[in-house]
Chains A and B, each alone.
Chain A
Amino acid sequence: MSTASAVRREGLRSFEKSATTGVRPGTRILIVDDESDLLDMLTAYFLSSKYEVDTATNGVEALAAVSRQRPDVVLLDIHMPEMNGLEALKAIMKIDQSIAVIMVTGNTQLSITVDAIRNGAFGYIPKPFDFRYLDHLIAAGLSRFRPRR
């Protein structure tokens, strides 16, 4: 193997690690969606990948879950009743800006995307999912550096 290719492999290690060798034990993901079928499917998917999974069906429940036990990553649907994803994102950022919040949505307006970015979303993934892309985005979220001071 050439040196350049070894360096490239090393450089991308943090993204590939979670997707290929399993996640660090205790890694917690919170899935927030009001569609029960999707919630069940994503829960099964992430449990099979050895994540610890919490679920919520709206923003209010999501905030309660975040306050109860800090997740490493939140998958947050935008269009939900009671408290929508954007409002929940803003509230989560007030609790802990180091949580990687990935917005999930079907069709949406550009202004909503802009607002999510402006308010600290780590990532944004449209439905239907490309699961390989989702895995890598979550791996990036998990490898995000959080200085201890």
Chain B
Amino acid sequence: MDVRTLAALLNLLSAARACTRAQAGTVYLQEADGLTFLVTQNDELARFIGPAGSADLLAQTPLPWTERSIAGYVAVTRTPLNIADAYTIPADHPYSFNPRIDRATGFRTASMLVVPLHHPIDGVLQLINAMNEAGDIVPFSRDVEIAVLELLSTTSESSAKG
């Protein structure tokens, strides 16, 4: 991983969160054993324990392929997922939400938008808890989902041009 790639991923995550008003977000890097946290942001946790404390807390545990995680499913199938409430995913779905991090941090995950990344790395962009103008947690709308996909496509084109 070089500085420019990591910088591009930070900018991508920040822009995607600004675009969707997402409370939190993560970029995962796809590796042989699973997904590892590369860049992670959570405004809600950062308010209480600071950005560094929040980042350290969230990045502790990687997601192994053996876990039926949402991000893992998106990485393998290369298919975006837009989930209205992570806690109501039916048990027969091929992926499930693991509340481990919520339990450890006190954060409450609700809506999720999880999309595969191809550039500048192979991985996954995960956005959590979209907000409306009043600051209420809402599902990610189809419009913002398309906007994020457009943002990723713009980033890919920029990367390709070097």
Asked if A68 is at the interface (CB within 8 A of a chain B CB), the reply is no
Count of chain A to chain B residue pairs whose CB atoms are closer than 8 Å in the complex: 99
Tell me which residues across on chain B come within 8 A of A15, comparing CB atoms.
Answer: 15, 19, 151
- A interface, how many residues as a size bin? 35 or more
Which residue of A has the minimal Cβ distance to B4? Answer: A126
Contact yes or no, A7 B146, CB < 8 A: yes
Q: How far apart sit A15 and B21, CA to CA, in the bound complex (Å)?
A: 13
Asked if B76 is at the interface (CB within 8 A of a chain A CB), the reply is no
Known: A4-B146, A145-B131. A126 touches B2 (CB 8 A): no
Which residue of B has the minimal Cβ distance to A100? Answer: B14
- B interface, how many residues as a size bin? 35 or more
User: Which residues of B125-162 are within 8 A (CB) of A?
Assistant: 131, 134-135, 142-144, 146-148, 150-151, 158
Counting chain B CB atoms within 10 Å of each CB, which of A7, A136, A148 scores highest?
A7
Contact yes or no, A126 B3, CB < 8 A: yes
Contact yes or no, A8 B19, CB < 8 A: no
Contact yes or no, A144 B17, CB < 8 A: yes
User: Which residues of A100-118 are within 8 A (CB) of B?
Assistant: 100, 108-110, 113-114, 117-118
Tell me which residues across on chain A come within 8 A of B17, comparing CB atoms.
Answer: 144
Q: How far apart sit A12 and B140, CA to CA, in the bound complex (Å)?
A: 15
Known: A110-B1, A125-B7, A140-B14. A11 touches B50 (CB 8 A): no
Of the candidates B2, B11, B39, B55, which one forms a contact with A137 in the assembled complex, judged by CB atoms under 8 Å apart? B11
Known: A7-B146, A145-B21, A148-B135. A123 touches B51 (CB 8 A): no
Contact yes or no, B143 A11, CB < 8 A: yes
Known: A97-B47, A145-B131. A118 touches B52 (CB 8 A): yes
A91: shortest Cβ distance to chain B, in Å?
12
Q: How far apart sit A11 and B130, CA to CA, in the bound complex (Å)?
A: 14
Q: How far apart sit A123 and B15, CA to CA, in the bound complex (Å)?
A: 9
Contact yes or no, A11 B14, CB < 8 A: no
Known: A11-B144, A120-B52. A110 touches B18 (CB 8 A): no
Which residue of A has the minimal Cβ distance to B39? Answer: A117
Which residue of B has the minimal Cβ distance to A8? Answer: B150
